[in-house]
Amino acid sequence: MLRLKKVELTGFKSFARKTSLDFGASITSIVGPNGSGKSNVAEALRFVLGEQSMKSMRGKRGEDLIFNGSKVVGRLNRATVAITFDNSDHVFDIDYDEVVLSREVYRDGTNEYMINGTAVRLKDIVELLSVAHIGSSAHHIISQGETDRFLFASIHERRIMVEDALGLRIYQYKISESERKLKKTEENLREITLLRKELAPRITFLKRQVERIERVRKMRDDLSSIYREYLKREELYLEHSRKTLKEEIAGPEKELRELDEKISEARSHIEASGKDNMNSGEVLKLESDIRSARNRKDEASRRLGRIEGMIEFEMKRREKEKERKDTEIENEAPIPLARVREAVHTIEEISDSALEDGDIERVKDALGRVRVLLRDLIEEAVKMRELHTEKVAENLGDVEQMRIDKEEIERQMDSLREEESHVQEMYAAMKMSVEKEKDETRDIERELFTMMSQRNEAALKVNSVRSKMFDLEREEQEFKNEIIEAGVLIGREVLSYMDLPISMEDTIAEGRDVQKAKKKTIERMKIRIEEVGVGGGEDVVKEYDEVMERDAFLSREIDDLVKSAESLRTLIADLSEKLSTEFTDGLAKINRQFQEFFSLLFGGGTASLCVVLPPKKKKSESDDILSAEGGEVPASEEEQEEGLEMNISLPQKRLRGIQALSGGERTLTSLALLFAVSQVNPPPFLVLDETDAALDESNSQKYGTMLETLSKSSQLVIITHNRETMSHAGIIYGVTVGLDAVSKILSIKFEDAEGMMAR
């Protein structure tokens, strides 16, 4: 059983010096003259148990509880009260056999609470004491003048006192705490729901962006598949073409070298056989002219081939560039940003000025000026587009120059062909003349002529193949550029085209028309991807994933909060039901004890507490107005809760209410009820501060008998002037006050006194 061991006061009210009161007996009495400070002991107990009302401790501020000094002793800066409990049975859920609660108050009003020397909160003190049905101002501390507090309390206050005595305040505390948590949970639920609603538009926007990015990725994947196959087949085709051209040019080049050697030998023979023959020299000169003309013609042919290739390549490239830029120009006005900002600023100034004046004519004039400004802006955009068109035309002019160069080369080739034909005619004529003059060299010259004809044919073949090789080099360069462009658009994975299982035979059998169709398909897919746009795709997807993750987290939070709120509602309902059940059972026990003590004190009669509904409050004039206007009429808390009414019937006396009782009858009735409440759920101790002041000698004896009964279940601390009451105490503390205005304690144990008297 939890026992009160001692109380220590230091600087509390009149107890300036450290004072200790031990409670070794079941009944301890504190006596002393008026003004000695004996009631300060009861107030010290209230203080250390967490009382917050200064009025109940006869003060206004915290500093009123601190010794304020006297002529002899100076004032103190703090007051300390410590109460010690024997916790051998571990009623308090603390792993100590002795529990010391202490409270300090400073002159600035600051309070400190400690349990066994460890600083704690007031909430921790209240929760600890509630287990043992102890409170700061509950039923077990009855101060001077509060004997009839139960008697004249309102029905609502009386119910609270009974609930406190029954130890049901812990349930109300838990209900209040649960309701506070429920309110906080509902607030959090509303806040998180609002956060999720705020995220919804962003999620919708990002979802559309991600879907767009996914479409682009799908198009990229499709493009990558086609691109890789196209690049693989194009590489195989170029490889096959280079190999074929090398094989094709090998024979004519070898034949050309052999013919050059034979022609050189024949010329040497002719030169040796007729050095002095002028016609032979002319023949040789004509041969040289023919070779020169043919070489110039071959060079012109090669130049023509290069220019044709350059024209074709440049036209294709610029056609693609023109299509892209035309699309951009058509859809976007190429106006400088600074010019647009200037126009917007001017429009704002015009509109603000017109709106400030408020004149309709000024507004019309402002609208006209804005319309003119917008027209100027459109004309400026048109001019910028025309300038771009001229720039494109200038670029196309470069192609025209190459075409002019091509025509010039073609004219040169025509001239060279005529020159070659003329030289060949002269050569043929000269040859006939030489044959007539030199019969011995006719066969050699004929053979030389034949070889030269063969050489010309071989040279034409070589030049033709070299032209094809030049075209092939251009295609290879385009292929390299295509790989770079594919890498930029798709990524390095496009280089995996080299691993595709496509054979050279399949590529050759497919034909170039199929490859060209794939090329067109690739170009169309590129345009679609550029139109959709892929800028910032990874950032958008990352943000979308983060926002969706946060939304999912909020959704889980909402589910958890809903479950938590439901659990709290269930807990509140269970606690309320348990509170109601225990209150009903406890009230029945109190009524039995109340009737027993009442009959003992009055020699009969009846006394009980019953649950009643509060009286309906009459509507005020303001409530009638609110009701007429459709408003809600406020209801007080007391009108919403049941209370306790006291029914008393004295023997051989008819009463019309508690107010008709005399002072002694009120005291006895209050004591009967207080003791009944204490017996139902006995606290570890009771403090009674001059509750017997109004009793006569006969009733004092009954009061003493009741104290003996109560002391069996609770320790009693009685502050009294009554001799009969003192006779029941095991320990008596006398409180005196000297000239220094400081209270002092003198004590005596009746057991020791009886022993001394026996000696």
Q: What is the pLDDT of residues 730-755, one digit of tens each?
A: 899 999 998 888 999 988 766 554 54
Taking residues 453-473, report their average pLDDT: 81
- Joined together, the tokens standing for residue 432 give 């006939």
Mean pLDDT of the chain: 78
Which of the four pLDDT bands, split at 50, 70 and 90, describes residue 636?
very low
The least confident of 268-277, 499-508, 678-687 is 268-277
At residue 316, the pLDDT reads 74
User: Per residue in 309-364, pLDDT tens?
Assistant: 777 777 777 777 666 665 555 555 456 666 777 777 777 777 777 667 666 776 67
Q: What residues contact residue 380 under an 8 Å CB cut-off, 6+ apart? A: 335, 339
In angstroms, how far is CA 452 from the centroid of its own chain? Answer: 90
In whole angstroms, what is the distance from residue 472 CA to residue 240 CA? Answer: 11
In whole angstroms, what is the distance from residue 223 CA to residue 111 CA? Answer: 78
Q: Among 418, 436, 454, give the residue marking a domain's end.
A: 436
The least confident of 241-255, 499-513, 614-628 is 614-628
The least confident of 103-107, 259-263, 351-355, 682-686 is 351-355
At residue 335, the pLDDT reads 65
Q: Indicate whether 97 belongs to any domain.
A: yes
124: helix, coil or strand? Answer: helix
Closest by CA to 586, choosing from 148, 87, 168, 137, is 168
User: Per residue in 189-224, pLDDT tens?
Assistant: 999 889 888 888 888 888 887 777 777 777 776 777
User: Per residue in 124-169, pLDDT tens?
Assistant: 888 888 777 776 555 678 876 667 777 778 888 888 878 877 777 7
Domain of 98 in residue numbering reads as 1-138+686-759
CB 614 within 8 A of CB 603: no
Q: Among 436, 461, 478, give the residue marking a domain's end.
A: 436
Closest by CA to 179, choosing from 680, 571, 553, is 571
Q: Indicate whether 611 belongs to any domain.
A: no
Q: Indicate whether 103 belongs to any domain.
A: yes
- pLDDT(468) > 60: yes
Q: Indicate whether 233 belongs to any domain.
A: no
At residue 637, the pLDDT reads 43
In whole angstroms, what is the distance from residue 418 CA to residue 414 CA? Answer: 6
- Quote the number of domains for the chain: 2
Q: Indicate whether 234 belongs to any domain.
A: no
Question: CB 574: neighbour CB atoms within 10 A?
Answer: 13
Do 428 and 281 fall into the same domain?
A: yes
Q: Indicate whether 352 belongs to any domain.
A: yes
Q: Indicate whether 739 belongs to any domain.
A: yes
In whole angstroms, what is the distance from residue 636 CA to residue 622 CA? Answer: 15
% of the chain residues with pLDDT over 90: 13
Per-residue CA distances from 624 to 616, 628, 632, 637 (Å):
15, 6, 10, 20
Q: Among 403, 436, 469, give the residue marking a domain's end.
A: 436
CATH number of the domain bearing residue 28: 3.40.50.300
Helix (H) or strand (E) holding 1: none
Closest by CA to 196, choosing from 725, 555, 454, 439, is 555
Which of the four pLDDT bands, split at 50, 70 and 90, describes residue 13?
very high
Task: Considering only CA atoms, give the Rg of the chain.
Answer: 59
DSSP state of 739: T
The DSSP bridge pattern shows strands 731-737 and 27-31 to be parallel
Sheet containing 685-689, strands listed edge to edge, beginning at the edge strand earlier in sequence: 141-142, 685-689, 715-719, 27-31, 731-737, 743-749
Q: Indicate whether 391 belongs to any domain.
A: yes
Sheet containing 19-22, strands listed edge to edge, beginning at the edge strand earlier in sequence: 19-22, 3-10, 78-86, 98-106, 111-115, 118-120
647: helix, coil or strand? Answer: strand
| φ and ψ at residue 543, rounded to 5 degrees | -65, -40
